Chains A and B, each alone.
Chain A
Amino acid sequence: MKRTWPQSIALFGGLGLLAAVIGLPFWWVASGSIKVPREIISRVPTMVPHSFTLQHFEKLLQSTDFPGYLLNSMVVALFSTAFTIALALPAAYAFFRMEFPGRAALYRVILLAYAFPSVVVLIPIYGLFARLGLIDTRIGLVIVNIAFALPFSIWMMRSFLASVPREIEEAAVIDGAPPRVILLRILTPLIAPGIASVSIFTFIASWTEYLFASVLIVSDAKRTIPVGFAGIIGQYQIDWGLLLAGATAATIPVVILFAFVGRWFVSGLTEGAVK
Chain B
Amino acid sequence: MKTRLIAFAGFASLLMAGTAYSEPVNITFWHMEQPPHRVQRMQELLDEFNKAHPDIMVKQEPQSWGEVYAKAPAAFAAGTGPDLLFGIPDFTTVIKGIDAVVPVDDLAKEMESKHGFVPATIAPYQYDGHTWAIPAYNMAISMWYRNSEFKAAGIEVPKTWSEWKAAAEKLSVDGKYGVGLPANKQLYTDQTVYALMVNSGAQDIYNEDGSISFDKPETVSAFETYGALQKLSPPDSTSWTWGEAEACFASATCGTILQFSVINTYETQAEADPADLGVAPVPHADDMTESGTISYSNAIMLTTKDEAKQAAAKTFLAWLLEPANYGRFLTMEPGLFLPVTNDGAEAESFWSDPVVTKYKSQVETMIANSKNGKLFGFTTGKVFPSIGAISGQNVIAESLQKMVVDGDSAADAVKYGQQKMSEIAGK
Q: What residues make up the interface of A, taking CB atoms closer than 8 Å to B?
A: 37-38, 40-43, 63-65, 119, 122-123, 126-127, 130-131, 135, 211, 214-215, 218-220, 227, 230-241
Contact between A126 and B78 (Cβ–Cβ < 8 Å)? yes
25 contacts between A and B (CB under 8 A): A41-B247, A41-B250, A43-B175, A43-B253, A126-B71, A126-B74, A127-B74, A130-B79, A135-B80, A215-B67, A215-B70, A215-B74, A218-B80, A227-B64, A230-B34, A231-B62, A231-B64, A233-B35, A236-B139, A237-B265, A237-B333, A237-B336, A238-B243, A238-B265, A239-B269
Known A64-B36, A214-B67, A237-B333; judge A41-B74 contact (CB<8 A). no
Q: What residue in chain A is nearest B175 (Cβ atoms)?
A: A43
Contact between B269 and A41 (Cβ–Cβ < 8 Å)? yes
> Counting CB contacts under 8 A, is B416 at the interface?
no
Which of chain B's residues 38-70 have a Cβ closer than 8 Å to chain A?
Answer: 39, 61-67, 70
> Counting CB contacts under 8 A, is B7 at the interface?
no
Contact between A41 and B270 (Cβ–Cβ < 8 Å)? yes
Known A237-B242, A238-B243, A239-B268; judge A230-B61 contact (CB<8 A). no
Contact between A240 and B251 (Cβ–Cβ < 8 Å)? no
A273 to B406, CA, bound (A): 58
> Counting CB contacts under 8 A, is B114 at the interface?
no
- Residue interface mask B138-167, A partner, CB < 8 A = 1: 010000000000000000000000000000
Known A126-B78, A130-B78; judge A240-B247 contact (CB<8 A). yes
A234 to B260, CA, bound (A): 14
Contact between B271 and A38 (Cβ–Cβ < 8 Å)? yes
B144 to chain A, nearest CB (A): 13
Contact between B269 and A235 (Cβ–Cβ < 8 Å)? no
A156 to chain B, nearest CB (A): 30
**In the complex, which of the residues A40, A122, A239 contacts B70, with contact meaning CB atoms closer than 8 Å?**
A122
> Counting CB contacts under 8 A, is B246 at the interface?
yes
B401 to chain A, nearest CB (A): 21
Q: What residue in chain A is nearest B244 (Cβ atoms)?
A: A238
A211 to B67, CA, bound (A): 8
Which of chain B's residues 252-283 have a Cβ closer than 8 Å to chain A?
Answer: 252-253, 260-261, 264-265, 268-271
A25 to B137, CA, bound (A): 38
- Cβ contacts under 8 Å, B36 to chain A: 63-65, 232
- Cβ contacts under 8 Å, B78 to chain A: 126-127, 130-131, 135
Contact between A237 and B243 (Cβ–Cβ < 8 Å)? yes
> Counting CB contacts under 8 A, is B405 at the interface?
no
- Cβ contacts under 8 Å, A43 to chain B: 175-176, 251-253
Closest 7 CB pairs of A and B: A231-B34, A238-B243, A130-B78, A37-B269, A126-B74, A234-B35, A214-B67
